[in-house]
Amino acid sequence: MNHPAGYVRGVAVMVAVAVLFSLTGLILRHVESADPWTVIVWRSVALCAAVVAFLIARHGAHAIARILAMGWPGAIAGLGLGLDNVFFLMAIPLTTIANVSFLLATAPFFTAVLGLLLLREPVPRRTWFGIAVAMVGAGVMVAEGITLGGWLGDLLALLATLGYAGYAVALRWGRQVDMWPSVLLGGLVALAISLVLSGDIAIGANDLALCVLQGAAVGALGNMLLTWCARHVPAAELTLLGLVESILAPLWVWLVLGETATAWALGGGALILGAVLASTLIARRAR
């Protein structure tokens, strides 16, 4: 079992990370003209630059050695994060923020299964219960997304969720070493894919500023904090706590942009929030 103090800190920081990640949809809704691939290119450049600056400031000449020390866990984590970023950012223009956010509710299920099979990491009954309730909420939303014709965006969001699950499990696999450089690898994977598939990557000043904000302040900072949380919180619980993002993301775009979620989306969100709160409170009492 993880040390109680480290677990509590990990839970608190993971909730803060989820709040930070929830701003992504709101930021990208303000992009004026750049297409999704251009956004991914410049967002990835900003993320990589921020992580490189951090690694050099922290490790100096030993930064490259730190990257190599991650081994296969770091490589798999970077691949999962890169695919998560690409599919997630592609999904946002093709469906609602609520649909993208609530589809993340399936991440704890995939993470729990992968963690159990690959890491032999036991999943408490309370976590399985939270996952089951969150999956019901996601099912409510997915059915509506198909009805509204947003199936392609929903599919891309689901693929992003699979990448995120692989990322979380790989972080737990390599938790004995410094996994912060895996965020850099994730940025490089996303950058490579987007450069191959993009056309003209020219971008206006407003859109570039938004890409830098999302890549450096949200993507780089949030994911580096997430790698620290993975040392103290089991993978399934980590992604379950991350579902706070699914609740807040539609709230921000509703408050700022007036993009409303339907009754189905709100109902699914309520189920997800209840699952996260119940699992967290039960875990706190147990520890």
User: Does the residue 276 lie in any domain?
Assistant: yes
Q: What is the mean pLDDT of each run of 10 residues along the chain (287 residues)?
A: 74 93 89 89 95 92 89 94 88 75 77 86 80 76 59 86 92 88 94 88 94 94 92 85 80 79 71 72 63
What 8-state DSSP symbol labels residue 203?
-
Residue 44, domain extent:
8-286
Question: CA end-to-end span of the chain, whole Å?
Answer: 10
Angle 12-176-43 (CA atoms, 0-180°, nearest 5)? 60
User: Does the residue 3 lie in any domain?
Assistant: no
CA–CA dist 193, 79 (Å, integer): 11
Q: What pLDDT is stored for residue 149 in this prediction?
A: 53
User: Does the residue 1 lie in any domain?
Assistant: no
User: Does the residue 2 lie in any domain?
Assistant: no
HEC profile for 78-97? HHHHHHHHHHHHHHHHHCCH
pLDDT tens, position by position, 44-75:
999 999 999 999 998 888 889 988 889 999 99
User: Does the residue 140 lie in any domain?
Assistant: yes
Hey, what are 135's tokens? Answer: 């999956």
pLDDT tens, position by position, 150-189:
678 888 988 999 999 999 999 999 988 889 899 999 999 9
Hey, what are 97's tokens? Answer: 């923020």
Which alpha helices (DSSP H) does 60-180 contain, by range? Answer: 63-68, 71-91, 97-103, 107-118, 125-147, 151-173
Report the number of distinct structural domains present in the chain. Answer: 1
User: Does the residue 247 lie in any domain?
Assistant: yes
User: Does the residue 118 lie in any domain?
Assistant: yes
Q: What pLDDT is stored for residue 286 in this prediction?
A: 61
Q: What pLDDT is stored for residue 1 in this prediction?
A: 46
User: Does the residue 180 lie in any domain?
Assistant: yes
